[in-house]
């Protein structure tokens, strides 16, 4: 075995844990001198202080992910020192109070004045504080936190999947968030178990101290012939000193555990939270100063102490508003320079073109779209455009963002070619809890409707986010609400977003890979306007145009027979049939569909022959019956968990798709020719029966 290679790959960090375990085993098994005990007791105290400070300065519990393991190691270190010190106390205790080292002697004399009765009382009080108050409370919080973390996992995973599907985050960010959710649940679960280490350590400290007192008394009197009073004093002081040396670091570690599990995560550490929330309210400080000053006027009270404290608190109350004003002034952006007065004549430069896509926001949402403040919505809009291009097949126009003081402060409006296509409100600093239909109860807050999908939702405060997720709500922030709404509207209006400029950019991009293919089609066989109309027809019915090679090859074959955009669209749909069906029902599953009754089908074919492809020849009563029965069948199919799909003969497909699109935008109308041979169909409902 190549030990040099193995040791070369192991750095000092990797060896730290094994060396600590070996050291603890050595303390338990091997006899050590009092000087070595002093070193290890000092190290134990220093380690506990480091753990406490690290716990106080962490911003999130996961920043101290090693804490459960640290609890185990520090507990075992204290128990190892207890075993080693017990051996030394019982072996050399008869020689004097310094038999177990200077640290134990100092705790036995300096802290309790050499009085073993006082030492017993102090030790019992510290043990009660540690065992009954701190450790029990921290263990209960860890238990509840573990339960809530596990209950909230499905909601958090759904929120991550929703952001990923909306294009707000990439796969790497989604994987990172899923890892954090899993680590959070594991951390709280580990803390629930690790809190038992601290409780066991407190019990062990009591047992070890009692054993040292009784065992020392017996050893001193029976083996070293010490008088009873001297044996009691000597060994009790040593036992109490040993117990205090172990109990004080144990209390510090318990406080650290309580600080980690009891804090509410935000972007500040515990100290900053306490200062900002406890001492930054002038009215609270003024009232407290008045009460303390009044108590100082009561006869018999220490007037000087109460008076000084009241003056100190009142001075802080006077200074806090000035400090807050300076902080707000430092955070305010510099005022924009006033525009110069208009002195020039009007020109064509004053005529600004209408932007294809626009997002207007109220003044409270400006921070979400301000690049100087690292607006999160800007990054999400970039992700939306990228995901749209990858899925749909062309790059949408950029989103032009501007503020609009005519909107409500938290309102926003999405426009397409200057016309509003969607609007809503979003509240920065709050979260929207969306009810997907499986929640366990209501939430307090402002009830609203999700602007993207129309689901019931509630605006809640940030401190209720974890509770809402544990109840089954999908919780999203203010930026995600706007981004999801924008992404939904982009998908709905994809056909209108494919303008002549976007189509030309798409042709130029494809020309780099297949220049000959496009040269044969445009403009030799097909005008650019007809190609645009065919692609818009596909996008209007939710068919993606990623497979441009198949689309172009089909158009080359069909252009010699017809230049009608609707006929060409039907031919392209047949060529893309496998992809269309795959989008509706992934995999090789059977396709659940609705079909027309043969009598209704015959009537519609007759109406098509008399009224044309637009469906103008359908008699009004027949049209109403068709719409009503199709709506009922679609609702039943959705209740069964299927996507509404209507399977019709090829001549009727285009007419029915346009006729039913306004009433049932989610309905997919397929023709028999578009179904691939490998798919089987399952007829769920008969329309017009």
**Of 598, 577, 599, whose CA–CA distance to 645 is shortest?**
577
Q: Give Cβ neighbours of residue 673 (< 8 Å, ≥ 6 apart).
A: 574, 577, 650
SS (H, E, C) 626-683: HHHHHHHHHHHHHHCCCCCEEEECHHHHHHHHHHHHCCCCCCEEEEHHHCCCCCCEEE
Reported as type and span, the H/E element at residue 591 is strand 591-596
SS (H, E, C) 39-73: HHHHHHHHHHHHHHHHHHHCCCHHHHCCHHHHHHH
From residue 288, give the alpha-carbon distance in Å to each of 267, 272, 297, 306, 491. 29, 21, 15, 11, 58
Compute mean pLDDT per 10 residues along the chain, 689 residues long, and list them.
50 68 75 79 84 80 78 81 78 66 68 66 76 73 71 74 71 81 76 72 76 78 77 75 78 79 64 71 82 83 82 83 73 57 66 85 88 78 90 92 90 93 92 90 92 92 90 91 93 92 88 80 85 93 92 90 91 93 83 92 85 62 89 90 92 90 90 89 88
From residue 621, give the alpha-carbon distance in Å to each of 411, 556, 607, 624, 626. 43, 42, 13, 5, 9
> Whole-angstrom Cα distance, residue 336 to residue 102?
68
> The tokens of 204 are what?
């062990």
Strand partners, 458: 433, 447
Query: Is the Cβ–Cβ distance between 100 and 89 less than 8 Å?
Result: yes
Query: Is the Cβ–Cβ distance between 642 and 664 less than 8 Å?
Result: no
Chain centroid to CA 209: 47
Torsion of CA 171, 174, 176, 178, to 10 degrees: -140
pLDDT for position 475:
93
> Whole-angstrom Cα distance, residue 49 to residue 252?
7
Calculate helix-pair angle for 228-262, 136-165, nearest 10 degrees: 20
> Whole-angstrom Cα distance, residue 471 to residue 464?
11
**Of 465, 458, 464, 470, whose CA–CA distance to 434 is shortest?**
458
Query: Is the Cβ–Cβ distance between 397 and 354 less than 8 Å?
Result: no
> Whole-angstrom Cα distance, residue 88 to residue 86?
5
Helix, strand or coil for residue 543? coil
pLDDT for position 648:
94
> Whole-angstrom Cα distance, residue 464 to residue 485?
23
Q: Give Cβ neighbours of residue 551 (< 8 Å, ≥ 6 apart).
A: 534, 535, 538, 545, 572, 575, 576
> Whole-angstrom Cα distance, residue 450 to residue 484?
10
* DSSP 8-state secondary structure symbol assigned to residue 351: -
Residue with tokens 């030790």: 123
pLDDT for position 141:
73
Q: If you count DSSP H runs as helices and E runs as strands, how many of each does the chain have, helices first?
A: 26, 12
> Whole-angstrom Cα distance, residue 571 to residue 653?
12
> Whole-angstrom Cα distance, residue 468 to residue 155?
8
Q: In degrees rounded to 5, what are phi and psi of residue 42?
A: -65, -40
pTM: 0.55
Q: Is the peptide bond before 531 cis (omega within 30 degrees of 0)?
A: no
> Whole-angstrom Cα distance, residue 82 to residue 104?
11
> Whole-angstrom Cα distance, residue 499 to residue 302?
83
> Whole-angstrom Cα distance, residue 175 to residue 103?
50
Q: Give Cβ neighbours of residue 105 (< 8 Å, ≥ 6 apart).
A: 97, 98, 241
Reported as type and span, the H/E element at residue 474 is strand 474-477
> Whole-angstrom Cα distance, residue 485 to residue 167?
12
Query: Is the Cβ–Cβ distance between 130 and 251 less than 8 Å?
Result: yes
Contacts by residues 265-271 (CB-CB < 8 Å, ≥ 24 positions apart): 265/59, 265/60, 265/61, 266/59, 266/462, 267/59, 268/59, 269/56, 269/57, 269/58, 269/59, 270/55, 270/56, 270/57, 271/56, 271/57
**Of 166, 187, 147, 150, whose CA–CA distance to 434 is shortest?**
166
Query: Is the Cβ–Cβ distance between 42 and 167 less than 8 Å?
Result: no
> Whole-angstrom Cα distance, residue 446 to residue 457?
8
> The tokens of 367 are what?
């921070």
SS (H, E, C) 433-465: EECCCCCCCCCCCEEEECCCCCCEEEEEEHHHH
């Amino acid at each position: 075995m190549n030990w040099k290679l193995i040791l070369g790959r192991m750095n000092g960090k990797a060896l730290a844990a094994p060396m600590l375990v070996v050291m603890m085993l050595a303390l338990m098994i091997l006899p050590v001198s009092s000087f070595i005990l002093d070193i290890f007791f000092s190290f134990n105290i220093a380690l506990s202080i480091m753990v406490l400070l690290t716990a106080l300065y962490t911003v999130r519990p996961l920043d101290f992910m090693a804490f459960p393991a640290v609890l185990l190691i520090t507990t075992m270190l204290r128990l190892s020192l207890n075993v080693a010190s017990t051996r030394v106390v019982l072996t050399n205790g008869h020689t004097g109070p310094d038999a177990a080292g200077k640290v134990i002697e100092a705790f036995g004399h300096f802290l309790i004045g050499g009085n073993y009765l006082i030492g017993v009382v102090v030790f019992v009080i510290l043990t009660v504080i540690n065992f009954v108050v701190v450790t029990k409370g921290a263990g209960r919080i860890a238990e509840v936190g573990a339960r809530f973390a596990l209950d909230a996992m499905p909601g958090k995973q759904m929120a991550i999947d929703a952001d990923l599907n909306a294009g707000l985050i990439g796969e790497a960010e989604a994987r990172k968030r899923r890892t954090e959710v899993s680590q959070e649940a594991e951390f709280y679960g580990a803390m629930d178990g690790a809190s038992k280490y601290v409780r066991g350590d407190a019990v062990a400290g009591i047992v070890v101290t009692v054993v040292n007192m009784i065992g020392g008394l017996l050893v001193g009197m029976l083996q070293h012939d010490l008088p009873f009073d001297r044996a009691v004093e000597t060994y009790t002081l040593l036992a109490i000193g040993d117990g205090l040396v172990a109990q004080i670091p144990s209390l510090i570690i318990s406080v650290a555990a309580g600080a980690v599990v009891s804090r509410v995560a935000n972007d500040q550490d515990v100290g900053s939270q306490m200062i900002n929330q406890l001492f930054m309210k002038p009215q609270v400080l003024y009232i407290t100063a008045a009460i303390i000053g009044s108590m100082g006027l009561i006869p018999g009270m220490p007037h000087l102490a109460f008076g000084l404290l009241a003056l100190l608190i009142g001075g802080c109350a006077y200074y806090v508003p000035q400090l807050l004003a300076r902080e707000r002034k430092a955070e305010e952006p510099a005022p924009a320079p006033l525009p110069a007065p208009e002195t020039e004549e009007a020109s064509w430069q004053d005529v600004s073109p209408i932007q294809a896509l626009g997002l207007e926001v109220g003044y409270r949402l400006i921070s979400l779209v301000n690049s100087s403040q690292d607006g999160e919505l800007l990054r999400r809009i970039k992700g939306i455009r990228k995901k749209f291009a990858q899925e749909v097949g062309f790059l949408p126009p950029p989103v032009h963002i501007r503020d609009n003081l005519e909107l409500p402060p938290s309102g926003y409006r999405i426009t397409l070619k200057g016309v509003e296509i969607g609007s809503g409100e979003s509240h920065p600093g709050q979260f929207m809890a969306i009810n997907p239909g499986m929640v366990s109860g209501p939430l307090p807050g402002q009830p609203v409707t999700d602007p993207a999908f129309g689901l019931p939702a509630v605006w809640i405060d940030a401190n209720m986010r974890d509770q809402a997720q544990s109840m089954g709500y999908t919780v999203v922030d203010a930026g995600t609400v706007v981004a999801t709404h924008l992404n939904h509207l982009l998908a709905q209006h994809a056909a209108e977003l494919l303008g002549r400029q976007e189509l030309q950019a798409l042709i130029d991009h494809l020309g780099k890979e297949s220049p000959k293919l496009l040269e044969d089609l445009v403009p030799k066989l097909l005008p650019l306007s007809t190609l645009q109309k065919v692609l818009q027809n596909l996008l209007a019915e939710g068919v993606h145009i990623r497979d441009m090679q198949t689309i172009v090859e089909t158009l080359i074959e069909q252009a010699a027979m017809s230049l009608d955009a609707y006929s060409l669209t039907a031919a392209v749909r047949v060529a893309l049939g496998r992809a269309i069906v795959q989008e509706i029902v992934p995999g090789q599953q059977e396709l659940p569909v609705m079909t027309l009754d043969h009598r209704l089908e015959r009537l519609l074919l007759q109406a098509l022959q008399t009224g044309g492809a637009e469906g103008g020849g359908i008699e009004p009563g027949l049209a109403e019956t068709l719409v009503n029965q199709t709506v009922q069948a679609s609702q039943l199919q959705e209740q069964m968990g299927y996507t509404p799909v209507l399977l019709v003969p090829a001549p009727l497909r285009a007419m029915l798709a346009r006729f039913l699109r306004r009433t049932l935008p989610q309905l997919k109308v397929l023709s028999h020719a578009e179904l691939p041979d490998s798919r089987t169909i399952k007829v769920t409902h008969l329309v017009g029966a």
